[in-house]
């Protein structure tokens, strides 16, 4: 059996990676250098269909830096290397089965980084680490994959350095896609040297970095710099379904041959899973290398790649499928069978009521003339002599033809019923009328129904008829229906309004505009074609308003006048004063006086708080700073209103406290002389201290820095005595202030 994926596989960023190295030669080709020239190769795999970052070192990305550590001094980086722009190739996701179709949304790229550098030969191991975040959010088997990064590293043991031994390299990349419920095996062996011993095992992938984009190069950043030294944390599996022993799920099978690196298994669940492989190389019982890689496998449900797909109908309660072509004996079969690239031949066969009545075709879309209505047996075989094949048997049913023909009788300009009459040559088994326009739909199953439209418009009248063998036909005609609406009066709100206010006009009853043209005359030379309509007047006075209605065909017209004339008045104007205005302080009583007029409704507010509704009132200022006081006045007759706001400034109180003694003996108690209080709102601050003889001993322009009892030249401490201070600053009103006094220094 052969398979294709039917479940979409989504991915976003890191697929996997591995790092290896080769020892090229002595540094500068000098054996006395006691140093090797290394070539490091980093292979990173990413999902090129996802929305994650591009390969590092690509334009607009982070540099692909890796960090080298000595394991005996793992907290101190030996050096940081920066890989240049990688060579990028796409990985073929086909696992090698010609009949397996890989979904188009699976795309994997391999970025190959290479860099040469020199390292001295030492009696300790090196480890080279590259860390990057994050993995795909769609990974199923670990916790918080979108917040989990990866570490790809390689260790150079002291024995490998002395033996000039390259690290192993994996020979194959694992398949990108697998089929759920189907067994698989793939080779994950590495390069080997005769006499060496290789031991393979499954391993937990390691983490590295984190989702922090703000501090991207930090330990929890998306691209740590430097990369962290070992030991490395391992991913947390999403238990209980997934564990380190069962990374594909509890009911899945996954094993690796320890000597050959052959991975075998059978996945039971669909999704995306991250796996890890570790291989150890021994020579004469000594461990020379430990190489680890991790990678992502996509598991989906699979179907046959070559699949017959025809527009057939299943017969209820049976396994039989039919193709029906009503009344027409010449039939073209639309063939949607897939995959066309894997289909090389088609074999169509049809038989009628007698053995001699046979029709065949080898075209993809077969065209057959069956000559007469009836029932025929059909079969399509794809690739009848090939490896990937499929077939389907079905029936072809050709009943007698039926037609949907009808007649319309009615008047487009009158509110009268519309008569529909079926005129087909044969009586249908069932039929359905649909009489519809925008926002209205009427249905009937009578042979000759009568419709009363519910609104004006161009109606679409559709007839659906069903005959023998569920054969059907349909036809559509249009019918314009634009009767003049019956309107008794015009409504507007209000009859008395203020100059500049927006007034809404409508009709009673309200009429829809389908098929009806509307023209308002507002009595001031302005018009409108909307319903309802709005209008604002620019001059006060009395206005006569009318509406003219015209049906869609322009024949029927009706004009209606507003019952009463509209009275437009000048609206109120809000204005107020307050006293006093200058040097206002907290809780001070201020008198507010409205200048707006007596015959108005008043509403005073402090911000959103209602504080009074009288013409004039007194108010105790509740806070310092800028107080927003607003007045809204409303004309009781028209409802027109106006609003005015003013900000009342209440000056804050500046409080400064100065001690009269201090003891700078470094006991943590009263060791410093400084002012305290509302210092943060002051400007041009300056504090000076003088001896009793007028000699300066200290000066500060920072309110946070006081005198610790040291003399200005800092050679010795000032003696216990009485000192004079002078403090100056500019307060929050911009006024210059001065304070002076004495302070006792005690020792």
- Contact present, 163 and 288 (Cβ < 8 Å): yes
Question: 656-745: which CATH number, 1.10.287, 2.60.40, 2.40.10, 1.10.150?
Answer: 2.60.40
φ/ψ of residue 162, rounded to 5: -70, -30
Q: What is the pLDDT of residue 50?
A: 63
Write out residues in the chain with pLDDT < 70, as ranges.
Answer: 1-13, 50-53, 60, 94-104, 303-304, 316-319, 488-495, 508-515, 555, 563, 653, 712-715
Residue 271: other Cβ atoms inside 10 A: 20
Domain parsing of the chain, residue ranges: 4-302, 313-398, 406-481, 489-569, 576-650, 656-745
CA 632: distance to chain centroid?
45
Q: What is the pLDDT of residue 11?
A: 33
- Contact present, 56 and 130 (Cβ < 8 Å): no
500: left (phi over 0), alpha (psi -120 to 50) or beta: left
Question: 313-398: which CATH number, 2.60.40, 2.30.30, 1.10.357, 3.40.50?
Answer: 2.60.40
- Domain 576-650 adopts which CATH fold? Immunoglobulin-like (2.60.40)
Determine the CATH number of domain 489-569: 2.60.40.10
Q: What is the pLDDT of residue 488?
A: 61
| Cα–Cα distance, 177 to 175 (Å, whole number) | 6
Q: Which residues pair with 314 in a beta bridge?
A: 321
> What separation in angstroms does the CA of 415 have from each of 459, 534, 615, 738?
14, 30, 59, 93
Cβ-count burial 61-93 (b if 16+ within 10 Å, e if not): ebebbbbbbbbeeeeebbeebebeebeeeebeb
CA torsion sign, 128 to 134 to 138 to 142? positive
Instruction: Please check whether the two domains, 576-650 and 656-745, share a CATH topology.
Output: yes
pTM over 0.75: no
| Cα–Cα distance, 304 to 677 (Å, whole number) | 83
Of residues 608, 607, 610, 613, the one with CA closest to residue 594: 613
- Contact present, 644 and 630 (Cβ < 8 Å): yes
- Domain 406-481 adopts which CATH fold? Immunoglobulin-like (2.60.40)
| Cα–Cα distance, 20 to 43 (Å, whole number) | 9
Per-residue pLDDT reduced to its tens digit, 536-581: 888 888 888 888 888 877 767 788 787 677 788 888 888 999 999 8
Helix (H) or strand (E) holding 149: none
| Cα–Cα distance, 74 to 199 (Å, whole number) | 27
């Amino acid at each position: 059996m052969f398979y294709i994926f039917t479940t979409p596989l989504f991915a976003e960023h890191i697929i996997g990676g591995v790092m290896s190295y080769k020892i090229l030669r002595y540094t500068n080709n000098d054996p006395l250098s006691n140093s090797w020239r290394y070539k490091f190769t980093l292979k990173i795999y990413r999902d090129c269909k996802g929305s994650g970052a591009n390969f590092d070192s690509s334009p607009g990305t982070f540099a692909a830096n890796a960090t080298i550590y000595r394991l005996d001094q793992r907290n101190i980086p030996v050096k940081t290397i920066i890989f240049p722009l990688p060579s990028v190739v796409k990985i073929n996701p086909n696992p090698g089965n010609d009949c397996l179709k890989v979904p188009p949304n699976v795309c994997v790229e391999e970025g190959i980084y290479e860099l040469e550098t020199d390292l001295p030969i030492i009696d300790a191991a090196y480890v080279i680490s590259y860390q990057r975040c994050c993995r795909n959010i769609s990974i199923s088997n670990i916790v918080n994959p979108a917040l989990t990064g990866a570490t790809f590293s390689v260790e150079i043991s002291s024995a490998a350095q002395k033996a000039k031994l390259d690290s192993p390299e994996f020979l194959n990349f694992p398949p990108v896609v697998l089929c759920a419920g189907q067994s698989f095996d793939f080779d994950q062996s590495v390069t080997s040297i005769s006499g060496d011993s290789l031991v393979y095992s499954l391993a937990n992938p390691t983490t590295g970095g984190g989702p922090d984009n703000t501090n991207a190069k930090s330990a929890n950043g998306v691209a740590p710099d430097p990369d962290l030294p070992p030991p490395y944390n391992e991913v947390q599996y999403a238990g209980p379904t997934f564990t380190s022993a069962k990374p594909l799920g509890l009911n899945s099978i996954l094993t690796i041959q320890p000597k050959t690196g052959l991975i075998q298994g059978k996945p039971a669940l669909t999704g995306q899973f991250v796996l890890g492989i570790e291989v150890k190389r021994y020579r004469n019982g000594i461990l020379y290398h430990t190489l680890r890689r991790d990678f992502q496998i996509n598991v989906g449900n699979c179907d046959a790649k070559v699949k017959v797909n025809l527009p057939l109908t299943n017969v209820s309660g049976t396994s039989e499928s039919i193709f029906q072509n009503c009344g027409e004996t010449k039939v073209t079969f639309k063939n949607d069978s897939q995959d066309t690239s894997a289909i090389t031949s088609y074999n169509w066969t049809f038989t009628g009521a007698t053995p001699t009545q046979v029709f065949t075709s080898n075209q993809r879309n077969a065209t057959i003339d069956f000559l007469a209505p009836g029932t025929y047996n059909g079969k399509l075989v794809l690739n009848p002599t090939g490896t990937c094949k499929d077939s389907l048997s079905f029936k072809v049913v050709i009943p007698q033809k039926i037609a949907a023909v009808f007649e319309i009788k009615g008047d487009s300009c009158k509110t009268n019923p519309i008569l529909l009459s079926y005129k087909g040559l044969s009586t249908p088994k069932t039929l359905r009328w649909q009489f519809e326009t925008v926002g209205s739909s009427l249905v009937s199953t009578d042979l000759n129904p009568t419709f009363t439209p519910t609104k004006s418009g161009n109606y679409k009248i559709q007839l659906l008829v069903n005959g023998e063998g569920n054969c059907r036909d349909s036809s559509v005609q249009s019918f314009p229906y634009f009767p003049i609406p019956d309107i008794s009066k015009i409504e507007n709100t209000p009859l008395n309004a203020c100059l500049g206010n927006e007034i809404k006009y409508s009709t009673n009853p309200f009429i829809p505009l389908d098929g009806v043209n509307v023209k308002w005359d507002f009595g001031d030379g302005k018009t409108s074609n909307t319903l309802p309509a709005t209008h604002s007047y620019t001059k006060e006075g009395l206005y006569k308003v009318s509406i003219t209605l015209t049906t869609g065909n322009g024949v029927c017209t009706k004009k209606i006048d507003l019952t009463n004339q509209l009275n437009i008045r000048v609206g109120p104007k809000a204005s107020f004063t307050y006293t006093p205005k200058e040097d206002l302080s907290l809780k001070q009583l201020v008198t507010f006086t409205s200048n707006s007029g007596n015959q108005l409704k008043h509403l005073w507010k402090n911000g959103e708080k209602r504080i009074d509704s009288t013409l004039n009132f007194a108010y105790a200022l509740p806070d310092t700073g800028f107080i927003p006081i607003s007045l809204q006045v409303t004309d009781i007759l028209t409802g027109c209103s106006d609003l005015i706001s003013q900000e009342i400034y209440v000056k804050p109180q500046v409080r400064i406290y100065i001690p009269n003694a201090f003891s700078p003996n470094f006991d943590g108690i009263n060791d410093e002389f400084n002012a305290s209080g509302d210092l943060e709102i002051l400007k041009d601050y300056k504090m000076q201290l003088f001896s009793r003889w007028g000699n300066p001993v200290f000066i500060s322009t920072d309110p946070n820095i006081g005198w610790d009892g040291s003399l200005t030249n800092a050679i010795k401490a000032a003696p216990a005595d009485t000192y004079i201070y002078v403090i100056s600053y500019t307060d929050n009103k911009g006024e210059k202030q001065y304070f002076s006094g004495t302070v006792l220094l005690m020792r």
